[in-house]
Amino acid sequence: MTSWWESDPERLARDLLEVPAHFPDLQFEQVGAGQWSGRLLDWPFERPRPAGLDALTGGDGLLLDLYYPQSYPMVPPNLFPREPEPEVLLRTQHRWHLNGDGSLCLLRVPELWTGREPVTDLLLKAAGWRIEYELMKANLIDRMSENGIVTDPTYDHLVGGALCQDSVSS
């Protein structure tokens, strides 16, 4: 069987340049159809980092595994959170943006992935998922946002609120 990177070596070269440039702690392995593993930056977004982020996340970004399918780039990769790893019960609730297998649900509809997007777009959404996950756990929001916090600052002010909530409950 021909692997996707043999069919599309330009895409592999692009991913091998772009991913480490945005997420230097991810390591690529040419296992199966290929995978990235490691920790995302906790705030890789272009707007100012909210006060209280370290208190909310412990100063750590999401630890994850990204698995390419052999049909990549026409089909997006699967991203599995490892730390924090959501409980199985959360996989049945759409508001947590998880699929039944435990992978992240980062696209509202499949058509949002055309195969031309950089894989770093999904990694940025995963970094945002980590923050929204902690906001959900702190009961500061009751569902994750539809578009993610990558470009939507709606939840930024709540990050500092988690710090206040922690001090009240202590």
Residue 66 has pLDDT above 70, yes or no: yes
**Cα dist from 7 to 33, 40, 131, whole Å:** 12, 28, 36
Residue tagged 């709606």 (tokens):
154
Range of the domain at 146: 4-169
Q: Kindly report the CATH number assigned to the domain that includes residue 86.
A: 3.10.110.10
Q: What is the distance between the alpha carbons of residues 62 and 160, in angstroms, rounded to a whole number? A: 19
Taking only the tens place, the pLDDT of each residue in 14-58 is 999 999 999 999 999 999 999 999 999 999 999 999 988 999 998
Q: What is the pLDDT of residue 167?
A: 43
Per-residue pLDDT tens digits for 106-150: 998 888 899 999 999 999 999 999 999 999 999 999 999 988 899
Structural domains counted in the chain: 1
Residue spans of alpha helices (H) in the chain: 4-7, 9-22, 53-57, 119-137, 156-169
Each residue's pLDDT tens digit, 135-146: 999 999 999 998
Q: Helices then strands (H, E): number in the chain?
A: 5, 4
Whole-model pTM: value is 0.92
